[in-house]
């Protein structure tokens, strides 16, 4: 009997696949398209839908926002939190994860928002903890530039400690609703935290009631050594990019070792690897679809501009037909490393064209891709996949390929769940 693995879906509140062959005519900005998508994920028994977020209109490519806006890369983007609330109210079992940056939200506001949405979702909310990776985002919050990665993670360590205290500032039984005595909440069970740290100061208590899950599920995507250490200490689920099964296994083993060293049970962390399956009724059809995408006239420029938005690197300055020189970034180093395939000798053009094959080349019929995913998980040891579409451009057709094609094939192989056994996201993640 094959061991089951977990599934997440990765998208953002953006324009969707607005000019694709199967694009709808309606704009997605009222959120209803994404709610429908979440309902499809729930029918397919996904663990969670994860709403990505960034906080800028990037000018990394050629020093202007032209490519960003022309290709709708990371912008325009709407706030994922109201959408998370809509999705939570329109589903009953699916986990709803939204991204909030420790650089942008005051901790009290974040804890309050997370507790509120965890109630709206009935205990299915997760927070994707990010520290932001762009100067242009930092400049929207009063900073001149992005603080160095080490400082961002120092701040995040303190931030998480603070919000954990806020989530604990209401005892689970603080609300008594004693009609006879006329008491709504027992004030002895609601405590200030009086937190004073190096970066943050907060009196507390939280002014919401305790969150159904105690605190939301924590999701994180550390790529650097410091980021992986943070994720291993903090996260219930890690989302990661890695090249091929070897890279995936190395990453998972690394965070599991770090988790054990920090006194945690490594099985309490579910590592989901980002993939972009391309599904067709035949292998030829899937490959034709993939080739059409990467051979489109704008694909290389859009891919380079996209990777530039989260690394603050202007790839237009580099020779497309030469090997990519070693680069570092104060932004998303892990994403850069995955893209660059260091040591492969590949040219920038080749790397850009392989941006969405994830090293696993999941291109084929539902059953063929399901078999590949099963074999990859076998080699890696667990825990699952985070499925997305290139440029996170969602369409009903792309979702359908996954929820009505790939997932049933995975289910027939006994690789993923066919029904939910529990109600909260934390329990769903711990089901196997
Ligand atoms: C699958 C995945 C999703 C991510 N989503 C976001 C996001 O929504 N917002 C964001 O600012 N960063 C996001 N990141 C970036 C990570 O938070 C992190 O900064 C990155 O992986 C680099 O790791 P490092 O911070 O340890 O260098 C994501 C990364 C990955 C791999």
> What is the full DSSP assignment across 414-430?
T-S-SS---SSHHHHHT
Cα(2) to ligand 1 centroid in Å equals 31
Q: How many CB atoms lie within 10 A of CB 183?
A: 12
pLDDT band at 205 (very low <50, low <70, confident <90, very high): very high
pLDDT of residue 284: 98
Give the ligand 1 atom nearest the CA of 338.
Answer: 31
CATH number at residue 267: 3.20.20.30
Cα(181) to ligand 1 centroid in Å equals 50
Is residue 220 assigned to a domain?
yes
Cα(241) to ligand 1 centroid in Å equals 9
pLDDT of residue 64: 97
Q: Is the CB of 224 under 6 A from ligand 1?
A: yes
Tally of structural domains, the chain: 1
pLDDT of residue 25: 87
Q: Is the CB of 223 under 6 A from ligand 1?
A: yes
pLDDT band at 1 (very low <50, low <70, confident <90, very high): low
C-alpha 339/C-alpha 276 separation (Å) is 14
C-alpha 396/C-alpha 96 separation (Å) is 19
Share of the chain above pLDDT 70, in %: 100
Of the candidates 70, 130, 66, which has an alpha carbon nearest to the alpha carbon of residue 310?
Answer: 130
The H or E element containing residue 230 is helix 225-234
Is residue 118 assigned to a domain?
yes
Cα(89) to ligand 1 centroid in Å equals 27
Cα(15) to ligand 1 centroid in Å equals 20
| 359 pLDDT above the threshold of 90 | no
Distances (CA, A) of 57 to 83, 352, 393: 20, 21, 17
Of the candidates 27, 141, 32, which has an alpha carbon nearest to the alpha carbon of residue 82?
Answer: 32
C-alpha 169/C-alpha 192 separation (Å) is 7
Is residue 371 assigned to a domain?
yes
Distances (CA, A) of 127 to 44, 97, 102, 160, 167: 22, 6, 11, 11, 13
C-alpha 62/C-alpha 164 separation (Å) is 42
**Gap between the terminal Cα atoms of the chain:** 13
Q: Is the CB of 219 under 6 A from ligand 1?
A: no
- Bridge-based pairing of strands 95-101 and 48-52 is parallel
Average pLDDT, integer, range 390-397:
92
Is residue 297 assigned to a domain?
no
Q: How many CB atoms lie within 10 A of CB 279?
A: 23
Which residue among 133, 307, 336 is best mutated to probe the pocket of ligand 1, counting the most ligand atoms within 8 A of its Cβ?
133
Give the ligand 1 atom nearest the CA of 130.
Answer: 17
Give the ligand 1 atom nearest the CA of 52.
Answer: 8
Q: Give phi and psi for 139, each to the nearest 5.
A: -70, -15
pLDDT band at 218 (very low <50, low <70, confident <90, very high): very high
Is residue 230 assigned to a domain?
yes
Residue nearest to atom 14 of ligand 1 (CA): 221
Average pLDDT, integer, range 328-348:
91
Q: Is the CB of 334 under 6 A from ligand 1?
A: yes
Which residues does 320 contact at the CB level (< 8 Å), separation at least 6? 300, 347, 348, 349, 352
Cβ pair 305, 391 in contact under 8 A: no
Measured over all CA atoms, what is the biggest interatomic distance in the chain, rounded to whole angstroms? 78
Is residue 282 assigned to a domain?
yes
C-alpha 100/C-alpha 282 separation (Å) is 40
Q: Is the CB of 222 under 6 A from ligand 1?
A: yes
| 3 pLDDT above the threshold of 90 | no
Backbone φ/ψ region at 381: left (φ over 0), alpha (ψ -120 to 50), beta: left
Q: Is the CB of 41 under 6 A from ligand 1?
A: no
Task: Report cis status (omega within 30 of 0) of the bond before 379.
Answer: no
**Token pair belonging to 139:** 């400049």
| 75 pLDDT above the threshold of 80 | yes
pLDDT band at 184 (very low <50, low <70, confident <90, very high): very high
Share of the chain above pLDDT 90, in %: 94
Cβ pair 2, 415 in contact under 8 A: yes
Residue nearest to atom 11 of ligand 1 (CA): 132
Cβ pair 9, 94 in contact under 8 A: no
pLDDT of residue 421: 97
Which residue among 223, 228, 234 is best mutated to probe the pocket of ligand 1, counting the most ligand atoms within 8 A of its Cβ?
223
The H or E element containing residue 175 is strand 175-178
Cα(178) to ligand 1 centroid in Å equals 46
Average pLDDT, integer, range 330-349:
91
Is residue 339 assigned to a domain?
no
The domain in which residue 11 lies consists of: 6-168+211-287+362-429
Give the ligand 1 atom nearest the CA of 334.
Answer: 22
List pLDDT tens digits, range 373-389: 999 999 999 999 999 99
Is residue 357 assigned to a domain?
no
Of the candidates 417, 341, 309, which has an alpha carbon nearest to the alpha carbon of residue 69?
Answer: 309
Q: Is the CB of 330 under 6 A from ligand 1?
A: no
Give the ligand 1 atom nearest the CA of 241.
Answer: 31
Cα(130) to ligand 1 centroid in Å equals 6
Q: Is the CB of 54 under 6 A from ligand 1?
A: yes
Of the candidates 352, 364, 366, 348, which has an alpha carbon nearest to the alpha carbon of residue 415?
Answer: 366
Cβ pair 158, 129 in contact under 8 A: no
Which residue among 334, 336, 358, 384 is best mutated to probe the pocket of ligand 1, counting the most ligand atoms within 8 A of its Cβ?
334
Q: Is the CB of 428 under 6 A from ligand 1?
A: no
Cα(151) to ligand 1 centroid in Å equals 16
Entry pTM:
0.97
Which residues does 307 contact at the CB level (< 8 Å), separation at least 6? 313, 315, 335, 336, 339, 352, 355
Helix or strand or coil: residue 96? strand
Q: Is the CB of 99 under 6 A from ligand 1?
A: yes
Q: Is the CB of 259 under 6 A from ligand 1?
A: no
Cβ pair 114, 225 in contact under 8 A: no
């Amino acid at each position: 009997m094959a061991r089951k693995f977990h599934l997440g879906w990765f998208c953002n509140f953006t324009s969707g696949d607005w000019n694709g062959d199967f694009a709808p005519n309606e704009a997605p900005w009222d959120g209803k398209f994404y709610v429908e998508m979440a309902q499809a994920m729930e029918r397919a028994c996904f663990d969670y839908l994860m709403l990505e977020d960034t906080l800028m209109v990037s000018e990394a490519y050629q020093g202007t926002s032209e490519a960003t806006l022309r290709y709708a890369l990371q912008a325009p983007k709407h706030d994922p939190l109201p959408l998370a609330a809509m999705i939570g109210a329109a589903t009953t079992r699916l986990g709803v994860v939204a991204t909030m940056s420790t650089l942008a939200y005051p901790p009290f506001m974040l804890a309050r928002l997370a507790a509120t949405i965890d109630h709206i979702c009935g205990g299915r909310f997760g927070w994707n903890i990010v520290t932001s990776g762009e100067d242009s985002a930092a400049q929207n919050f009063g900073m001149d530039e992005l603080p160095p990665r080490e400082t961002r993670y120092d701040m995040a360590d303190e931030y998480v400690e603070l919000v954990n205290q806020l989530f604990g500032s209401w005892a689970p039984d603080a609300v008594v609703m004693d009609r006879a005595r006329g008491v709504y909440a027992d004030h002895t069970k609601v405590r200030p935290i009086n937190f004073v740290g190096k970066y943050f100061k907060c009196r507390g208590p939280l002014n919401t009631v305790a969150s159904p899950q105690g605190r939301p599920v924590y999701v994180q995507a550390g790529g650097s050594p410091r980021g992986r250490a943070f994720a291993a200490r903090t996260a219930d689920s890690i989302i990661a990019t890695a090249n091929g099964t070897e890279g995936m296994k190395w990453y998972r083993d690394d965070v599991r070792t770090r988790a054990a060293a920090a006194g945690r049970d490594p099985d309490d962390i579910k590592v989901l690897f980002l993939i972009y399956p391309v599904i067709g009724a035949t292998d030829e059809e899937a490959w034709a679809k993939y080739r059409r995408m990467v051979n489109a006239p704008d694909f290389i420029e859009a891919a380079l501009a996209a990777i530039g938005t989260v690394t603050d690197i202007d790839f237009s300055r580099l020779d497309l037909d030469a090997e990519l020189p070693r680069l570092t970034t104060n932004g998303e180093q892990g994403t850069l490393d995955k893209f660059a395939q260091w040591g492969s000798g590949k040219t920038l053009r080749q790397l850009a064209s392989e941006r969405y094959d994830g090293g696993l080349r999941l291109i084929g019929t539902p059953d063929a891709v399901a078999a590949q995913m099963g074999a990859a998980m076998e080699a890696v040891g667990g825990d699952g996949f985070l499925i997305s579409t290139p440029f996170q451009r969602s369409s009903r057709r792309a979702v359908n390929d996954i929820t009505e094609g790939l997932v049933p094939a995975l289910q027939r192989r006994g690789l993923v769940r066919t029904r939910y056994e529990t109600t909260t996201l934390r329990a769903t993640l711990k089901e196997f």
